[in-house]
A and B are shown apart, each in its own frame.
Chain A
Amino acid sequence: MAHSNDVETIRKETRTYINVFIALAVLTVVTVGVSYFHLPPVLAIGVALVIATFKGSLVAGFFMHLLHERKLIYWLLILTVVFFLVLLFWPTLSAWNQRHI
């Protein structure tokens, strides 16, 4: 999307970037802090991945300005996410199936 070069808009965006940075820094500290609680493995993985996904969304949404992007880019990314999930879980699931046949 064409970005507005209006001074006030850019200054507002800049403030948002700083706020996002603070949120990311706090969430990083939270992730590390939680890891010292020695939660059960499944819960620990769940919490860490939820925080990481949220942090990733902040980076993608604000820094990569995906919140205001063209439809074509969204479609491209949806397709990528689908293939990514298949790639991520298919090998593990098929290996798990083989072990339990």
Chain B
Amino acid sequence: MEIPYTVEARPDTGVYNAKLGVWLFLASEVMLFGALFSSYILLRTGAPSWPHGRDLGLNVPLATLNTLILIGSSVTIVLSWASLRLNDFRKYRLYMGLTLLCGLGFLVIKFIEYSEKFHHGHYPRFNTFFAIYFTLTGLHGLHVLGGMIVNGYFWGPGAKLWQRDPERFTNRIEVAGLYWHFVDLVWIFLFPTLYLL
């Protein structure tokens, strides 16, 4: 059975199905992270005092670098989509490859940060700050990993679709990009909240 509206817009929604699907998924993701941000506010406002992330040894320069890497990956993934629209598959592979490398770089830096914390005995049970820090950054890290698996599939085996149905493949990269930008967007709020305030 053929899946309808993978390329052309569905008349009643005005968008192809995958795009509406990914936006609905992102709406549920907003609620997931929203619940955790809400918990953070509740914990922070309810605590007699709240430590500054920097005073607890959070590595601001490394986290700043990670922010720049993630923002960079947002640009590369949108450029990979633009390359497909220009029928330039080679450039698509390049930009998607760079996106994957940025994702990997982000996770490696996160691993280094986590190792530093564990080395000093700063586990989630250490205090409320680290409990919410590891919950939020851990969930975000899992999202980066999930996005990398999908992007890796589209860089490798999934790219065969380009030969058969280029427009459908281009749309797949657009929605993969929408998810990736969302992951970037969450980090844009997580970074100042946990590291700087």
Contacts and interface: CB of A to CB of B under 8 A. Distances in A.
Contacts, number: 128
Interface of B: 9, 13-15, 19-20, 23-24, 27, 30-31, 34-35, 37-39, 41-42, 45-46, 54, 60, 64, 67-68, 71-72, 74-75, 78-79, 82, 85-86, 177-178, 181-182, 184-185, 188-189, 191-193, 196-197
Contact of A88 (B34, B181, B185, B197): B34
Contact of A25 (B19, B24, B71, B182): B71
B13 to A, nearest CB: 5
B58 to A, nearest CB: 11
A5 B85 contact: yes
B197 A45 contact: yes
B188 A52 contact: yes
A80 to B, nearest CB: 4
Contacts of A79: 27
Given A28-B64, A72-B14, A56 B196 contact: no
A101 interface: no
State which size class the interface on A falls in: 35 or more
Given A56-B185, A77-B23, A10 B78 contact: no
A2 B8 CA distance: 9
Contact of B78 (A17, A41, A52): A17
A15 B27 CA distance: 29
Interface in A54-77: 55-56, 59-60, 63-64, 70-73, 76-77
B15 A21 contact: no
A56 B14 contact: no
A21 B196 contact: no
B34 A52 contact: no
A59 B86 contact: no
Contacts of B178: 64
Nearest to B196: A35
Given A17-B78, A63-B74, A96 B197 contact: no
